[in-house]
C-alpha cells in the first residue's frame, strides 16, 4: 500500500500565514515531530516575516503544554514569495538546497499548496522552471479543495498539475478522510460478517448522511457566496462518505484497489435530470434565528460581505440512488447546512422492518434497527435494537448499544490533518482522492446544477437554529421515511 517508508522530508508550506496553516497544519506538524518524524519546513507567503517572526506565529498555534518547542521551531524557515513573480523561486531553490544538506533530507520534498486553486498550476510551473521538482528523492504535492468549481475547471487544473507532477505524486486532500470513524467504515463492514452479510438492498431500507454546522459563513463569506453548500460540502466530503459506505470489498486492501471501488460507487450514482430534480434535491437558505445556546444570529443575506439579494444555498438535502446490484432501489439521503441546530456528522443505516404478522401483534410496532456511525463531535457507533419490555405486556421497547472512542481517549486520537500528513510523508495515498473520483463527482454536481437552473429550483428558507426547511422532511416523507434525530453524543 505504501510506496516508501517514513523518510526525512523538506516541506514547502505555501500559504504559510493563512488560517488553515495556523489552525490545523502547525499543530499537526508538532504532533508528527513528537513522533520522531524528521523534517524541515520553508514557509512561503507574501507577508514580510523573518524566520524569527514566523516562528513566533507558529509558537502561538501550539498547545500551552507543548514541550521541545525550541527544537521544533528551529526547523521552520520563512521566505516572502509572490506566486506571480517567478524570479522569487530562484531564491527558494538556494534555500531548499541548503536545508536539504543541513538536515540530511535526501531530496525528499512535499509541496503543500494551501492556495487559491487558480494558483495551483502557476506554482507548479514556477517550481519546475526553478529546478525545485528535479530532486534525487521523491516529491509529492498536496492540494486543498476546492479543486475547481465544475468539471471543466477541475479538468484544467488537473492538466496544469500533470505538466509537472505524475498522478501518483498528486495528493488531493479531503480532511474528512482523515477522521477516525470515516477510516473505520471499512473495518466496521469488512471485519464483521454480521454487518457485511446484510449490507445490501435486501436488508437496508435507506441510508442517511448528515453533516450539519451551527456556524455561519464567517470569514469565508466572499468564497461561500460564489460556491454554496452543494459545491462546498456535497461534492467532496459527502461524496466520500457515500463511497466508503457503499463500496464493494476490494480484491486486496491496497491503495489502488480501494480507490477503484470508491470510484465505481461515484460513477454509479444516478445523475439528476430536469424531470426529477424536484423529487431529488432541496435548496435552502437560513433566515435570522436563535441558536441552541440562545445566541441570536442574522439571516444569511444580512451577513457581512454577502449580497443582499443572494440566492446562494446554505443548505442542501438530496436523494441519491446507486445504480448497481447491491444498492438497487435503496435511497441515500444526504443533508448539509449552516446555522443548524447542532454540529454533527453521522451516517445512519436503517434496516428494513420485519414483515407484519397478525399472530405477533406485539412485534408489529417495533422500531427499525439502526446502525449509526458517529463521525463528530463524538467518534463512535451505536446500534439500536428491540427487546421485550420488562413487564407482563409482552410489548417491545428500543435499546441502544453504544461505543465512544474519544470519550475515553480524549486528546489521544490524532487529528485528521496529522493522519493525512503522516500518510503523505510515507507515500500512502489511500486516503487521498484520485482524479477519476474528482471527475465523476464533478460530473454529478454539474448535472444537479444544470437541472435546477433549467427548472429554477426554488430556494426554501429555514430559521437559523433549526434542522433545515420543511421541504427536506418532505423529501423523505414521499418515500415513507423521516430523518432520524441527530445524536450529538454517543
d(CA 149, CA 445): 10
The answer for residues whose C-beta is within 8 angstroms of residue 412's C-beta and 6 or more apart is none
Yes or no: say if 438 and 446 are a contact pair by the CB < 8 Å rule.
Answer: no
Reduce the DSSP state of residue 211 to 3 states and report it.
strand
d(CA 29, CA 71): 13
For 469, half-sphere exposure in the C-beta direction (CA atoms, 13 angstrom radius) is: 21
Of 126, 140, 175, 237, catalytic = 237
Q: What is the DSSP letter of 387?
A: E
Alpha helices for 339-434 (secondary structure H): 405-408, 416-425
d(CA 367, CA 387): 10
d(CA 139, CA 169): 7
Cβ neighbours of 195 (radius 10 Å):
15
d(CA 133, CA 317): 43
Q: Beta partners for 269?
A: 322
Strand pairing report for 109-113 and 139-143: parallel
- Exposed, middle or buried by CB within 10 Å (0-12, 13-18, 19+), for 397? middle
Q: Which three cell numbers stand for residue 263?
A: 470510484
Cβ neighbours of 252 (radius 10 Å):
10
CA-based nearest residue to 242, from 209, 289, 290: 209
Reduce the DSSP state of residue 170 to 3 states and report it.
strand
Alpha helices for 163-277 (secondary structure H): 180-183, 185-190, 193-196, 221-225, 228-229, 239-246, 255-268
Active site residue 140: no
Yes or no: say if 426 and 432 are a contact pair by the CB < 8 Å rule.
Answer: no
Tell me how many helices (H) and strands (E) the chain has: 18, 17
Question: Which active-site residues does the annotation give?
Answer: 237
Amino acid at each position: 500500500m505504501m510506496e516508501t517508508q517514513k523518510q526525512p522530508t523538506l516541506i514547502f508550506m505555501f500559504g504559510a500565514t493563512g488560517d488553515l496553516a495556523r489552525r490545523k497544519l502547525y499543530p499537526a506538524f508538532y504532533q508528527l515531530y513528537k513522533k520522531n518524524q524528521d523534517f524541515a519546513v520553508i514557509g512561503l507567503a507574501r507577508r514580510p516575516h523573518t524566520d524569527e517572526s514566523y516562528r513566533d506565529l507558529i509558537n502561538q498555534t501550539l498547545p500551552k503544554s507543548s514541550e521541545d518547542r525550541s527544537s521544533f521551531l528551529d526547523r521552520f524557515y520563512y521566505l516572502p514569495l509572490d506566486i506571480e513573480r517567478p524570479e522569487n523561486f530562484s531564491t527558494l531553490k538556494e534555500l531548499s538546497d541548503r536545508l536539504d544538506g543541513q538536515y540530511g533530507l535526501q531530496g525528499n520534498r512535499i509541496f503543500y499548496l494551501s492556495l487559491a486553486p487558480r494558483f495551483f498550476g502557476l506554482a507548479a510551473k514556477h517550481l519546475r522552471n526553478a529546478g525545485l521538482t528535479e530532486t534525487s528523492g521523491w516529491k509529492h504535492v498536496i492540494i486543498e479543495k476546492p479543486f475547481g468549481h465544475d468539471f471543466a475547471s477541475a479538468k484544467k487544473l488537473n492538466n496544469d498539475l500533470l505538466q509537472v507532477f505524475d498522478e501518483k505524486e498528486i495528493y488531493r486532500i479531503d480532511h474528512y478522510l482523515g477522521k477516525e470513524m470515516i477510516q473505520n467504515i471499512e473495518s466496521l463492514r469488512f471485519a464483521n460478517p454480521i454487518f457485511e452479510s446484510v449490507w445490501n438492498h435486501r436488508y437496508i431500507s435507506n441510508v442517511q448522511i448528515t453533516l450539519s454546522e451551527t456556524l455561519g459563513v464567517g470569514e469565508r463569506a466572499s468564497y461561500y457566496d460564489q460556491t454554496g453548500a452543494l459545491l462546498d460540502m456535497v461534492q467532496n466530503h459527502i461524496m466520500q462518505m457515500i463511497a466508503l459506505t457503499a463500496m464493494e470489498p476490494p480484491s486486496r486492501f491496497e491503495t489502488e484497489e480501494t480507490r477503484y471501488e470508491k470510484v465505481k460507487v461515484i460513477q454509479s450514482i444516478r445523475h439528476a435530470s430536469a424531470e426529477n430534480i424536484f423529487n431529488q434535491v432541496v435548496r435552502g437558505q437560513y433566515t435570522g434565528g436563535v441558536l441552541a445556546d440562545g445566541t441570536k444570529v442574522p439571516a444569511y443575506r444580512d451577513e457581512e460581505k454577502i449580497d443582499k439579494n443572494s440566492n446562494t444555498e446554505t443548505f442542501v438535502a438530496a436523494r441519491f440512488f446507486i445504480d448497481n446490484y447491491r444498492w438497487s432501489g435503496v435511497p441515500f439521503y444526504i443533508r448539509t447546512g449552516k446555522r443548524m441546530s447542532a454540529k454533527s456528522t453521522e451516517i445512519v443505516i436503517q434496516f428494513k422492518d420485519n414483515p407484519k404478522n397478525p399472530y405477533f401483534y406485539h412485534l408489529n410496532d417495533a422500531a427499525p434497527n439502526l446502525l449509526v456511525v458517529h463521525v463528530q463531535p463524538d467518534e463512535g457507533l451505536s446500534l439500536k435494537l428491540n427487546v421485550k419490555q420488562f413487564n407482563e405486556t409482552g410489548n417491545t421497547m428500543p435499546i441502544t448499544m453504544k461505543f465512544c472512542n474519544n470519550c475515553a481517549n480524549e486528546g489521544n486520537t490524532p487529528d485528521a490533518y496529522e493522519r493525512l500528513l503522516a500518510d503523505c510523508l510515507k507515500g500512502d495515498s489511500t486516503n487521498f482522492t484520485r482524479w477519476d473520483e474528482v471527475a465523476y463527482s464533478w460530473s454529478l454536481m454539474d448535472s444537479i446544477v444544470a437541472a435546477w437552473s433549467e427548472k429554477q429550483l426554488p430556494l426554501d428558507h429555514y430559521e437559523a437554529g433549526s434542522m433545515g426547511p420543511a421541504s427536506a422532511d418532505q423529501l423523505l416523507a414521499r418515500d415513507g421515511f423521516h430523518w432520524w434525530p441527530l445524536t450529538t453524543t454517543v
